[in-house]
């Protein structure tokens, strides 16, 4: 993991402190300020969802990134946590129990922990493919059961609750979304710190050992199975907290939350963000939530973009977004980051060409194939009106893509050269991006 | 009752064979390359749509041969220009690549052929009831599907056990590194296997399309169950996949025919069934309802008690 | 790493572009349509959009409401309750105060809950939910809301109508129920069991099947079971691929029974009925069909089909909904839900077939004549076919409004 490189460049203690904790301060400030900038209801709901998904994907990455366990069914713990939280909210509201809303996610967490304990006991005995497949089977089992056990899961309509009907603390009713945002943000921040702290504990370190070389970890005297099991439980706990937060945010839990689709999307978030770095899943959660919420508003072919973006990411940026950023950390430390800016700026030209061409091609094709029959061929893209059944837009799109690829190939080495010059032959970059 | 048993057996075997057509390709890909190919069912869907399109332009019988080849070529291209790049970064990126690919294929199919089911017909030559039993007819096309899948199984078995390329594949299944060290071009073998596996899935699509419904969601429905077949049968074992396919086909079909619930069982042995409480539904659920869940239960149980699967020799 | 950098940038640019584009538009009476516009249910949602756009064009051509034009906003909820909540939030941000949503009882339940809470927490900014297709009886019974109105007949009303018809058909002796295993399917099954027992105690229910929703690839095993039971009639609430596959498997096995369905008329349904050749055997229960012979109806259907490649006017209820909305707004002289909702409650309305209908004030459920029709090849008096198959819906029976009356358990709380 990369934080060793940070620690390596030790100097002024105040600067060191800033370097060590600066990122957390920044995160806190960003979280506090964001709702002041994006004030609309949808933006607030989206940011709440981001907070929830950040916790969930970080919990997931405890398994995948930290311990090397690929799970296809982590939504089970998220969903069960959420369901119990919703039931808890209803029970608390009905029985007038003196439990305030902010504590409810903990209920979800305990549910996640309990089921992590039960299912972890059977599934973490093996690593690798066997673990992955057991998680797939368990995930599908619970997802199917959620539609059969109507009493607990409420069928596909799910279970609803009302968060305002609970004990109020200091006059906060949690009716307005902004109050819920700050609740989620606080939980998110606390969970982030807790999960980061976990990576620094001896157990957290052992997880990495179990991931990288289980045999050696056994020889040192650790039970790899025990390490996997404990991590699994803790990960289930945090996933359950995320589920509890989701229950508060939507005041609704239903079968979708426990399904394979939810398990798949957390895997995507963690991976796209970058599983090799602690902050990766955070970036991934933000990006994927943005795409999920807003992409379908601007294009009918959103699934195609969604798929293509992921294919491109795994093909060309296997370290995820965090990997790309970490690649430039040594440059920043050496103070040579500015050197690469001109080369990158030049690359912007083919990049924009390629993207514009691809978007034009997809949108024109989508319009021609899907909409022309009912709405006619006239369409508008990038503020340009044209008809999708004429040849010109297709040619332009293909030329843009071709030109982008050609220029990219032509100038690519120069950019790579600029990068390695800036990094000055030191192999730090390679190591970090791993 | 007898007729139910006979038809359930027929339908179960047919469904099992269809699963096998898909799973045989996947088991080769999965065991050799370690790729959890989430897009495998998408190739099955592509096969159905290609088959539909070609039978519109030309004829079903042309489609039967051409469409699987086209799908195979698409598969090989995906391996050559996509998966191969990702391969060096490990299995998770490969898996995510196929994940994204499934999205892309589904959306493209929707764009080209629309979101509604297409009118993919059984060819005239086979559009008659094959036989009638207890007043129920069994369509000839289904018999034809059965025939094709059995034929493919036999051909596969022969190729894998008797031919040189089959031996290399067999070896690569169990000892991929050794095969590479012996000087075989493993990437090329991978590409061929991936293309071939996709082609098989495509063939399944061509023959299943007219019997079932050809629509963009057809890939979703089959996706995860294929992994169950492959893992349950055991990695690297074609005969394991064959047995698992048939088992799952038969279990799912027969489960539908049984209408008893746990509650009924309790009542029959003289116990009162619980009716209150959040989990009381558990007692009302019939075997028919849980039928589709059974394969996943089988998967979890076999992995807990026999991690290599039914006939497998290794865990990953 | 050049490619990697480029994709990183793409992703970022997309993210930024996306958030910049989600800004509200200008002031008009905005109607937000929220339904699945991608995935398996997309054809149904997309066809819904066309219905609403057509209605809004008509209303605007007639002068709009209170001098303002209507505008349609569309949102894709991907059939998910959570996405529905987000979409509703987006619609409200964009200035919509009338939300309409049809498909999926999960999404509809989430919407009712959301609207209740939103109106409770944001006094003065009330929104109203007009439901055009979600038929879970609970929405106008236990879960009824002052802010929810339903124009489709809910599944108990449809079953009430169907059983009234079955009462007159002595030929029906053995009925098999097959439904999807979720709340709607279970509601159909429950109503069928109760109502058949009450109206035709002699009928034997020989099978009562629930199968997983949208997960079955081959219905042949179920058909074998139906066959073995000796049923002469099948009642099913299946929709989407579940009805298409069921009919297909039935035709393959040569099963000659009558199918009484809720949704055989849905997207792709007529195509699969024709493909299987089940002539005069597949019935649907709806609030109207294209081939009801009134001048207005034929003219309407013709005009819509001309504009939409011979796609039929599937949802007579959308016409009722939007007409009545415009009427309520104009009568109340206000486009504010808080004001015009009162006019909608109990509103009487003459529909395009010249029949009286009304919105029941107690539970906000719409009542109208219900029709049972069969899909058959076109004959003399039929004017319109479905999905260019050459087959169309032929009227079998009309159940008058009075007979569709079902009681409600709704205790509506009127907000202060």
Bridge-based pairing of strands C391-399 and C370-377 is antiparallel
Bridge-based pairing of strands C348-350 and C98-101 is unpaired
Tell whether C27 is within 8 A of chain A (Cβ). no
> Which residues 266-295 of A have a C-beta within 8 angstroms of C?
287, 290-291, 293-295
CA distance C6 to chain A (A): 6
Give counts: helices (H), strands (E), chain C.
Answer: 12, 15
Q: Is it the case that residue A181 has pLDDT exceeding 80?
A: yes
- Lowest average pLDDT, out of B119-123, B227-231, C9-13, C330-334, goes to C9-13
Structural tokens at position C268: 């792709």
Q: What is the mean pLDDT of residues A6-30?
A: 73
Find chain B residues with C-beta within 8 A of A358's C-beta.
Answer: none
B250 CB contacts (<8 Å, ≥6 apart)?
B8, B9, B12, B13, B16
Q: What is the mean pLDDT of residues C244-252?
A: 84
A95 CB contacts (<8 Å, ≥6 apart)?
none
Residue from C221, C226, C228, C267 whose CB has the most chain B CBs within 10 Å, to mutate: C221
Domain coordinates in residue numbering, chain A: 3-318, 330-433
Residue of A nearest to B94 (CA): A314
Residue of C nearest to A318 (CA): C4
Q: Say what the pLDDT of residue B44 is.
A: 93
In which region does residue C342 sit, left (phi positive, over 0), alpha (psi from -120 to 50) or beta (all else)? Answer: alpha
Residue C260: pLDDT band (50, 70, 90) is very high
Handedness of CA A237, A241, A244, A246 (dihedral sign): negative
Q: What is the mean pLDDT of residues C117-137?
A: 90
Q: What is the mean pLDDT of residues A44-63?
A: 93
CA distance B108 to chain A (A): 7
Is C275 in Cβ contact with B119 (below 8 Å)?
yes
The neighbouring-strand residues paired with C210 are C179
Is C109 in Cβ contact with A160 (below 8 Å)?
yes
Domain coordinates in residue numbering, chain C: 25-153+290-368, 156-286+370-403
Residue C27: pLDDT band (50, 70, 90) is low
- Lowest average pLDDT, out of A209-223, A417-431, C236-250, goes to A417-431
Q: Is it the case that residue A429 has pLDDT exceeding 70?
A: no
**Planar angle of CA A367, C318, B111, nearest 5 degrees:** 20
Q: Given B89, B290, B303, which is nearest A133 (Cβ)?
A: B303
What is the per-residue pLDDT across A274-329, written as a single tens digit (0 to 9) for each? 888 888 999 999 999 998 888 887 777 788 888 888 888 888 888 888 888 888 87
Tell whether C45 is within 8 A of chain A (Cβ). no
> Which residues 132-151 of A have a C-beta within 8 angstroms of C?
144, 147-148, 150
Q: CATH 3.30.830.10: does it fit domain C156-286+370-403?
A: no
Return the number of CB contacts < 8 Å for A and B: 135
Closest CA to A351 of A305, A304, A291, A412: A412
First-to-final CA distance of chain B: 43
d(CA A229, CA A62): 12
d(CA A408, CA C17): 23
Structural tokens at position C296: 């207005």
Q: Is it the case that residue C270 has pLDDT exceeding 90?
A: no
Q: Highest-confidence range of C90-99, C204-213, C235-244, by mean pLDDT? A: C90-99
What is the per-residue pLDDT across B287-310, written as a single tens digit (0 to 9) for each? 777 777 888 888 888 888 888 887
Q: What is the DSSP letter of B122?
A: P
Long-range contacts of A14-18 (CB under 8 A, 24+ apart): none
Closest CA to A109 of A247, A285, A249, A202: A247
> Which residues 237-256 of C have a C-beta within 8 angstroms of B?
241, 244-245, 248, 252-255
d(CA C319, CA C90): 25
Structural tokens at position B20: 């096998």
Tokens 């992409």: give the residue: A295
d(CA B40, CA B30): 10
Q: Say what the pLDDT of residue C236 is.
A: 94
Is B315 in Cβ contact with A128 (below 8 Å)?
yes
CA distance A144 to chain B (A): 7
Residue from A68, A90, A130, A133 whose CB has the most chain B CBs within 10 Å, to mutate: A133
Structural tokens at position C89: 């939030």
Residues C281, C374 contacting (CB under 8 angstroms): yes
Q: Say what the pLDDT of residue B34 is.
A: 77
Q: Given C13, C14, C89, which is nearest A41 (Cβ)?
A: C89
CA distance A264 to chain C (A): 16
d(CA B11, CA B13): 5
User: In which element (H, E) is residue B198 found?
Assistant: helix B186-211
Is B137 in Cβ contact with C253 (below 8 Å)?
yes
Find chain C residues with C-beta within 8 A of B12's C-beta.
Answer: 221
Is C267 in Cβ contact with B256 (below 8 Å)?
no
Q: Is it the case that residue A7 has pLDDT exceeding 50?
A: no
**Planar angle of CA B83, B86, B88, nearest 5 degrees:** 120
Closest CA to B245 of B223, B228, B220: B228
Interface confidence (ipTM) of the complex: 0.82
d(CA A356, CA A347): 14
> Which residues 322-351 of A have a C-beta within 8 angstroms of C?
323-324, 327, 344, 347-348, 350-351
Q: What is the mean pLDDT of residues A11-19?
A: 73
Q: Is it the case that residue B236 has pLDDT exceeding 90?
A: no
Find chain B residues with C-beta within 8 A of C272's C-beta.
Answer: 117, 213
Residue C7: pLDDT band (50, 70, 90) is very low
Q: What is the DSSP letter of C134?
A: -
Tell whether C81 is within 8 A of chain B (Cβ). no
Q: Say what the pLDDT of residue C193 is.
A: 93
Q: Say what the pLDDT of residue C10 is.
A: 46
Q: What is the mean pLDDT of residues C240-258?
A: 84
Return the number of CB contacts < 8 Å for A and C: 170
- Lowest average pLDDT, out of A39-53, B86-100, C368-382, C393-407, goes to B86-100
Mean pLDDT of chain C: 86
Q: Say what the pLDDT of residue C21 is.
A: 42
> Three-state SS string across chain A, please?
CCHHHHHHCCCCHHHHHHHHHHHHHHHHHHHHHHHHHCCCHHHHHHHHHHHHHHHHHHHHHHHHHHHCCCCCCCHHHHHHHHHHHHHHHHHHHHHCCCCEHHHHHHHHHHHHHHHHHHHHHHHCCCCHHHHHHHHHHHHHHHHHHHHHCHHHHCHHHCEECCHHHCECECCECCCCHHHHHHHHHHHHHHHHHHHHHHHHCHHHHHHHHHHHCHHHHHHHCCCHHHHHHHHHHHHHHHHHHHHHHHHHHHCEECHHHHCHHHHHHHHHHHHHHCCCCCCHHHHHHHHHHHHHHHHHHHCCCHHHHHHHHHHHHHHHCCCHHHHHHHHCHHHHHHCCHHHHHHHHHHHHHHHHHHHHHHHHHHHHHHHHHHHHHHHCCEEEECCEEEECCCHHHHHHHHHHHHHHHHHHHHHHHHHHHHHHHHHCCCCHHHHHHC
Query: Domain C25-153+290-368 belongs to what topology?
Result: Rossmann fold (3.40.50)
Residue of C nearest to A311 (CA): C7
d(CA A131, CA B287): 28
Q: Say what the pLDDT of residue B76 is.
A: 93
Structural tokens at position C228: 């073995």
d(CA B144, CA A34): 63
Angle of helix A260-273 relative to helix A320-327, nearest 10 degrees, comes to: 10
Q: Given A176, A296, A324, which is nearest C8 (Cβ)?
A: A324
CA distance C237 to chain B (A): 17
Tokens 């039970």: give the residue: A223
d(CA C108, CA C110): 5
d(CA B81, CA A315): 10
Find chain A residues with C-beta within 8 A of B111's C-beta.
Answer: 301, 304, 365-366, 369-370
> Which residues 397-416 of C have a C-beta within 8 angstroms of A?
none
Q: What is the mean pLDDT of residues C12-19?
A: 44
Tokens 């503020």: give the residue: A383
Is B289 in Cβ contact with C254 (below 8 Å)?
no
Q: Say what the pLDDT of residue A233 is.
A: 95
Is B256 in Cβ contact with C222 (below 8 Å)?
yes
Residue A432: pLDDT band (50, 70, 90) is very low
Is C210 in Cβ contact with B288 (below 8 Å)?
yes
A351 CB contacts (<8 Å, ≥6 apart)?
A404, A408, C5, C6, C9, C10
First-to-final CA distance of chain C: 63
Find chain A residues with C-beta within 8 A of C7's C-beta.
Answer: 309, 312-313, 316-317
Return the number of CB contacts < 8 Å for B and C: 105
Is C104 in Cβ contact with A164 (below 8 Å)?
no
Closest CA to C139 of C88, C190, C102: C102
Is C227 in Cβ contact with B136 (below 8 Å)?
yes
Residue of C nearest to A316 (CA): C4
CA distance A264 to chain B (A): 9
Other CB atoms within 10 Å distance of the CB of residue B53: 17
Structural tokens at position A67: 């311990």
Please compute, for residue B33, the number of CA atoms within 13 A of its CA located in the half-sphere on the CB side: 31
d(CA A26, CA C101): 41
Handedness of CA C258, C263, C265, C266 (dihedral sign): negative
The pair phi, psi for residue C154, each rounded to 5°, is -75, 170
Residues B274, B280 contacting (CB under 8 angstroms): yes
Concatenating the DSSP letter of every residue in C34-101 gives EE--SSTTHHHHHHHHHHHHHHHHHHHHTT-BTTB-EEEEEEE-TT-HHHHHHHHHHHHHTT--EEEE
Is B278 in Cβ contact with A271 (below 8 Å)?
no
Structural tokens at position B115: 């979101």
Residue from C32, C89, C123 whose CB has the most chain A CBs within 10 Å, to mutate: C89
Q: What is the mean pLDDT of residues A330-337?
A: 76
Q: Say what the pLDDT of residue B1 is.
A: 67
Correct CATH for A3-318 of 1.10.10, 1.10.3470, 3.30.420, 3.40.1350? 1.10.3470
Instruction: Name the residue with higher pLDDT: A301 or C191.
Output: C191
**Planar angle of CA C150, C79, C141, nearest 5 degrees:** 30
């Amino acid at each position: 993991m990369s934080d060793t490189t940070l620690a390596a460049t030790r100097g002024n203690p105040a600067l060191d402190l800033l370097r060590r904790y600066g990122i957390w301060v920044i995160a806190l400030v960003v979280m506090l300020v964001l709702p002041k900038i994006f004030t609309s209801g949808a933006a607030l709901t989206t940011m709440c969802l981001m907070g929830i998904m950040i916790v969930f994907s970080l919990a997931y990455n405890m398994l995948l990134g930290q311990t090397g366990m690929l799970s296809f069914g982590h939504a089970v713990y998220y969903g069960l946590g959420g369901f119990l939280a919703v039931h808890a909210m209803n029970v608390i509201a009905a029985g007038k129990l003196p439990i305030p809303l902010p504590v409810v996610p903990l209920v979800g967490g305990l549910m996640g922990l309990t089921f992590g304990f039960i299912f972890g006991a059977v599934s973490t005995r093996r690593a690798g493919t066997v673990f992955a497949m057991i998680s797939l089977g368990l995930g599908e089992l619970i997802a199917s059961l959620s539609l059969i056990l109507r009493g607990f899961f409420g069928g596909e309509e799910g279970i609803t609750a009302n968060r305002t009907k609970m004990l109020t603390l200091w006059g906060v009713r949690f009716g307005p979304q902004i109050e819920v945002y700050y609740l989620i943000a606080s939980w998110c921040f606390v969970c982030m710190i807790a999960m980061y702290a976990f990576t620094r504990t001896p157990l957290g370190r052992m997880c990495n050992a179990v991931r990288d070389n289980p045999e050696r970890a056994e020889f040192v005297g650790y039970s790899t199975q025990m390490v996997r099991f404990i991590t699994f439980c803790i990960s289930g706990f945090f996933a359950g907290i995320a589920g509890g937060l989701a229950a508060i945010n939507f005041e609704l839990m239903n079968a979708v939350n426990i399904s394979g689709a939810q398990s798949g999307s957390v895997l995507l978030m963690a991976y796209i963000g970058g599983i090799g770095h602690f902050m990766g899943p955070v970036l991934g959660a933000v990006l994927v939530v943005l795409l999920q919420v807003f992409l379908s508003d601007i294009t009918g072919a959103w699934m195609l973009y969604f798929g293509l973006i992921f294919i491109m990411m795994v093909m060309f940026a296997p370290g995820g977004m965090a990997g790309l950023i970490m690649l430039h950390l040594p440059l920043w430390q050496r103070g040579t980051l500015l050197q690469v800016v001109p080369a990158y700026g030049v690359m912007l030209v083919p990049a924009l060409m390629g993207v514009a061409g691809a978007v034009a091609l997809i949108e024109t094709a989508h319009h021609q194939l899907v909409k022309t029959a009912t709405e006619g061929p006239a369409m508008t893209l990038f503020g340009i009106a044209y008809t999708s059944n004429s040849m010109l837009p297709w040619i332009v799109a293909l030329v843009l893509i071709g030109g982008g690829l050609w220029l990219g190939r032509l100038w690519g080495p120069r950019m790579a050269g600029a990068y390695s010059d800036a990094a000055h032959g030191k192999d730090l970059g390679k190591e970090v991006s791993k | 009752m007898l007729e139910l048993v006979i038809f359930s057996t027929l339908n179960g075997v047919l469904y099992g064979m269809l699963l096998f057509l898909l799973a045989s390709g996947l088991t080769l890909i999965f065991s050799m390359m370690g790729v959890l190919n989430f897009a495998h069912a998408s190739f099955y869907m592509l096969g159905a749509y290609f088959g539909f399109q070609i039978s519109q332009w030309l004829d079903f019988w042309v489609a039967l041969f051409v469409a699987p080849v086209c799908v195979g070529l698409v598969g090989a291209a995906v391996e050559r220009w996509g998966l191969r790049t990702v391969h060096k970064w490990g299995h998770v990126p490969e898996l995510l690549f196929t994940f994204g690919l499934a999205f892309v294929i589904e959306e493209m199919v929707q764009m080209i052929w629309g979101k509604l089911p297409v009118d993919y017909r059984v060819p005239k030559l086979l559009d008659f009831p094959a036989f009638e039993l207890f007043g129920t007819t069994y369509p000839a096309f289904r018999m034809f599907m059965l025939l094709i899948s059995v034929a493919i199984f036999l051909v596969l078995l022969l190729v894998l056990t008797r031919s040189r390329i089959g031996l290399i594949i067999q070896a690569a299944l169990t000892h991929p590194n050794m095969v590479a060290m012996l000087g075989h071009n493993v990437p090329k073998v991978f590409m061929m296997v991936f293309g071939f596996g996709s082609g098989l899935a495509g063939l399944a699509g061509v023959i299943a399309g007219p019997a079932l419904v050809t629509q963009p969601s057809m890939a979703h429905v089959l996706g995860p169950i294929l992994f169950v077949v492959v893992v349950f049968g055991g990695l690297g074992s074609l005969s394991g996949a064959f047995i698992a396919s048939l088992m799952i086909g038969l279990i799912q079909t027969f489960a539908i025919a049984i209408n008893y619930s746990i509650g009924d069982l309790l009542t029959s042995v003289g116990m009162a069934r619980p009716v209150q409480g959040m989990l009381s539904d558990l007692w009302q659920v019939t075997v028919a309802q849980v039928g589709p869940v059974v394969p996943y239960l089988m998967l979890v149980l076999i992995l807990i008690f026999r991690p290599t699967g039914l006939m497998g020799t290794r865990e990953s | 790493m050049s490619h990697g950098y480029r994709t990183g940038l793409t992703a970022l640019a997309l993210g930024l572009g996306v958030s910049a584009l989600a800004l509200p538009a200008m002031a008009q009476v905005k109607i937000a349509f929220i339904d699945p516009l991608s995935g398996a249910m997309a054809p149904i949602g997309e066809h819904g959009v066309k219905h609403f756009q057509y209605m809004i064009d008509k209303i605007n051509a007639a002068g709009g409401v209170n001098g303002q034009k209507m505008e349609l906003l569309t949102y894709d909820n991907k059939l998910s309750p959570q996405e529905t909540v987000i979409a509703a939030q987006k619609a409200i941000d964009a200035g919509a105060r009338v939300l309409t949503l049809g498909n999926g009882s999960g999404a509809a339940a989430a919407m009712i809950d959301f609207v209740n809470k939103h109106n409770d927490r944001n006094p003065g900014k009330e929104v109203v939910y007009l439901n055009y297709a979600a038929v879970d009886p609970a929405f106008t019974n236990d879960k009824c809301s002052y802010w929810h109105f339903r124009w489709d007949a809910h599944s108990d009303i449809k079953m009430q109508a169907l059983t009234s018809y079955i009462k007159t058909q002595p030929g029906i002796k053995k009925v098999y129920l097959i439904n999807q295993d979720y709340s709607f399917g279970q509601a159909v099954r429950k109503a069928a069991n109760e109502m058949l027992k009450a109206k035709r105690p002699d009928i034997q229910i020989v099978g009562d099947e629930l199968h997983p929703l949208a997960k079955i690839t081959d219905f042949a095993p179920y058909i074998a079971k139906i066959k073995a039971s000796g049923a002469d009639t099948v009642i099913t609430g299946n929709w989407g691929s579940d009805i298409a596959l069921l009919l297909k498997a039935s035709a393959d096995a040569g099963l000659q029974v009558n199918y009484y369905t809720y949704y055989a008329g849905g997207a792709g349904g007529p195509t699969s009925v024709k493909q299987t050749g089940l002539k005069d055997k597949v019935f649907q229960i709806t609030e109207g069909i294209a081939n009801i012979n009134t001048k207005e109806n034929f003219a309407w259907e013709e005009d819509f089909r001309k504009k939409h490649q011979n796609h039929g006017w599937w949802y007579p209820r959308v016409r009722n909904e939007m007409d009545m909305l415009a009427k309520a707004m104009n009568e109340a002289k206000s486009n504010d839900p808080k004001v015009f909702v009162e006019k909608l409650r109990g509103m009487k309305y003459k529909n395009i077939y010249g029949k009286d209908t009304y919105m029941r004030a107690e539970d906000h459920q719409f009542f109208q004549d219900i029709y049972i029709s069969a899909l058959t090849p076109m004959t003399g008096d039929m004017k319109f076919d479905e999905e260019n198959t050459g087959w169309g819906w032929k009227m079998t029976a009309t159940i008058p409004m009075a007979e569709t009356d079902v009681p409600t358990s709704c205790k509506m709380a009127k907000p202060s």
